[in-house]
Structure 1
Amino acid sequence: MRKIFLCIELFLFALTFGCDLPGDVQLTDYRPKNMVEGEIVTLLIEYQDAKNRLDLNRFLACLHEQGRFSFRGTAMVSKGRLRKSLTAFWKTLQSPNRLVLYPLSHEFVTGDYYLSGRLINPRISINGSSADVTVTFASGWWRQKHFISMQRVDDRWMITLLDWEEA
């Protein structure tokens, strides 16, 4: 009986403090099947790092000019609108008043509302010069599917769509 409680406690500890669950694969540990997948994973790591560091220029450099991106869980917006809105949004998330920013309905809480997190367990589907990626965004105990579409533009992959599953 004590062993069962110890296992449950260790599992809860892992979820609470952001440890990975058995079978989770970090982007940095993912083994690409080919060179193209490797390029896509490199972009995903850049996107993840830019978001975690709240580096707007690096974050926007990952996004295609004509893309559509989920913002605050309620709308798909352009890269230009993200450029105008993210700095103030991230500052509010860092402030002591950040809870007033959270939506009343949990359906709209997406990874946008977490200052940092990890992309884990990528599933990549490549079709010529386009790719669709499903990853899990993990921040502490909280996890949510993140859908990312990409397009190859001038020998470089660019993110054309960012969306979240409804919580």
Structure 2
Amino acid sequence: MMHLAAIVCGLLPIVLGSQMLIAVDNPFGLCDLAVPDHQNECGIAGVWRNQLQSVMKFTCIGGHIEGKYFTSVGNADGFYTLSGKYLKPDDDTTVVGWVVAFSNDMYGNSNSTTAWSGIHYADESTLYTHWLLTHFYPRAQLWKTTMINHDDFKKVC
């Protein structure tokens, strides 16, 4: 019943393995250890959550982004490594791009990757992105290998 109340209040449950968690201000305890300033050269490192409750935490040093991503959609479980790049066209804006290959120890290889490209403006708490997801299908079904959409990530901590 608690899960239904959370959904009604706008919080979606997150399933990690066999455990159902409610999306809170500190998903999976990722905010317990703050990103040190020297690992936040892009100015936006930390924990972010999108509209579907997928969560990521990343650092940024010397033009590179490294972190982990938890997807709340599809047949996936656990955290996946994310890796990418960032640029600072000015002091107020960060342009980012990162990739996740959906293969990990918990779930194995899902034969798919997703690449996000986005922008963050300093006067907003949103990271606006578009993504391409490519999933393996035999060549005869090439037409359905890639999907495109967008995510708006909100800063958690």
Q: TM-score, normalised by structure 1?
A: 0.35
Q: Which has the higher contact order (CA 8 A, sep 6+)?
A: 1
Q: TM-score, normalised by structure 2?
A: 0.37
Higher share in strand: 2
